[in-house]
Chains A and B, each alone.
Chain A
Amino acid sequence: MTDVTMTINGQTRSASVPPETTLLQLLRENFNLTGAKLGCDVGDCGACTVIVDGQAVNSCLMLAGQADGRQVLTIEGLASREHLHPIQKAFENSGALQCGFCGPGVLLSAKALLDDNLDPSTQEIRDALSGNLCRCTGYTKMIEAVQEAARLLREESRTQLTHARPEVATP
């Protein structure tokens, strides 16, 4: 058995699991975080995407032990009790998901992109989502939603900047 401890959605969680346990299994079976989906289990579909230390990863390809001591964000940690994350809001407003099976993975791939780049080009968005297969939507509205989310997040960071600006004494 391997002992693992990691921060998941801001909370420290520990488990003792067989060494071959994937991060996806750990999340779904030990921690009951079933937002990340098991689509293929071999890294083809992206339905299991979570963010580990700022990077979008296929959690079916990562061992639980490899995530030991790291920061993990799953879809359950994206919205707060009060409101949806701007990416979720944008996806909802543009009808960017249909069956939603690919959704948790797509949203986290989009988040990893936007954490890095608040003004991505269409090509950069296509690249960021290329590991997330979607059978329903044709990706078109997802790409629009990521653009919209980027706009919302830019606005948010602008207002935060203005609010955070220290009082400057006028000469």
Chain B
Amino acid sequence: MKRRGRGIACMWYPIGFTVSANPSAATVKMNEDGTATVLTGTVETGQGSLTVLGQIAAEALGIATDDVHVVSADTDTTPMDTGAIASRTTYVTGNAIFLAAEAAKAILFEAAAPMLDVKVSQLEAKDRKIQVKNYPQRNVSIGEVALRAQAVLGTPAIGSASWNPPTVALDPETGQGKPFATYVYATQIAEVDVDDETGEVEVLRIAAAHDCGTAINPMLVEGQVEGGISMGVGMALQEEMLFDANGRHINPNLTNYIMPTSLDMPEITVDIVQGFDPTGPFGAKGVGEPTAVPTSAAILNAIHDAVGVRVYSLPATSEKVLTAIKAKRAAEQKQIPA
């Protein structure tokens, strides 16, 4: 008989390690046609980070994301980046790009102030223009300002910056300290059906609420959450590297290493809990790895809710769940006084 259960799991996850240097550097160049070029050493692996980094530069410069050309991941020519690792790109690389864009913007403001006859502090960059705050009708196009900065004033609008979450050593005696710059939080709830005759588990629904600070690109955040959940479903129920007695990996292929297909995926609801972290670019933190953290715990809790058994080793295969169900039944039988 199929039994339904629900389980919940919460997590926090650290973003921007501080126990050793963790820098990102970036260069932002404002072009005379109003576009900008961003140079970053980080690498895109499909998560969409170059889009998000382009959005950060665009927002800082008051231009459109389409106006930004991001050049990445060439160790010969792009500035150093610690890497697309540890869910750090939006936060650490994003901060470097934000600072580089601000430096380029400062040069633009210096050039634009005399053009608009105001002080630098009265200017803002918006809608592809440098304009006077509260008087947007007094403006010059950002491309024109960039051209003037380089061709008349001899100060091309280019900014370079690096950002490193302040490195703080841990206490050598206690191992305590502040190992990360910031943290994200999430809760996922899983609903499952467990067949108590076969031990088979089907994940029906997962609701995932994630804090990532400001979600700079909500669609990409959702993509990360959904992808992380698929990894969590695999970890909970299917995926296992098997080794023989000699330590040889015996399932190094997709025939025997089973991962979720489109048929194994539950219906997913993603709730992005908007927060704001003052240390991140426009309040953003990160989202990559945290998405896979609570899923298996939520599923295993749901299994417990459905059939009352705890499985303590992953993946919770049908065999393990059924064995646990049988053990529970046997224990209950024993308790019945003769």
Contacts and interface: CB of A to CB of B under 8 A. Distances in A.
A130 B263 contact: yes
A100 interface: yes
Contacts of B78: none
B11 interface: no
Interface of B: 45-48, 219-220, 222-223, 226-231, 253-255, 259-263, 265, 268
Contacts of A40: 253-255
A138 B226 contact: yes
Given A139-B230, A140-B226, A129 B254 contact: no
A140 to B, nearest CB: 4
Contacts of A42: 253-255
A95 B262 contact: no
B226 A137 contact: yes
Interface in A49-73: none
A130 B259 CA distance: 11
A126 B268 CA distance: 14
B226 A133 contact: no
A38 to B, nearest CB: 12
A127 B229 contact: no
Interface residues of A, number: 29
A167 B47 CA distance: 51
A99 B268 contact: no
Contacts of B265: 126, 138-140
A44 B46 contact: no
Contacts of B46: 97-100, 136
A142 B254 contact: no
Given A40-B253, A97-B46, A130-B262, 9 more contacts: A40-B254, A44-B255, A100-B46, A126-B263, A138-B229, A138-B268, A139-B230, A139-B265, A141-B222
B227 A98 contact: yes
Most chain A beta carbons < 10 A, residue from B220, B231, B261, B268:
B261
A98 B261 contact: no
15 contacts: A39-B254, A42-B255, A44-B254, A97-B46, A98-B46, A126-B265, A131-B261, A132-B261, A134-B230, A134-B262, A137-B223, A137-B226, A138-B260, A139-B226, A139-B265
A140 B268 contact: yes
A143 interface: yes
B48 A95 contact: yes
A138 B253 contact: no
Contact of A138 (B220, B230, B254): B230
Interface string A62-97: 000000000000000000000000000000001101
A117 B193 CA distance: 31
Given A95-B48, A98-B48, A136-B46, A44 B230 contact: no
A125 to B, nearest CB: 8
A45 interface: yes
A109 to B, nearest CB: 10
A154 interface: no
Contacts of A140: 226, 265, 268
A135 interface: yes
A135 B229 CA distance: 11
Nearest to A146: B262
List the 6 closest pairs (A to B, CB-CB), nearest first: A99-B46, A98-B46, A138-B230, A138-B226, A44-B254, A129-B262
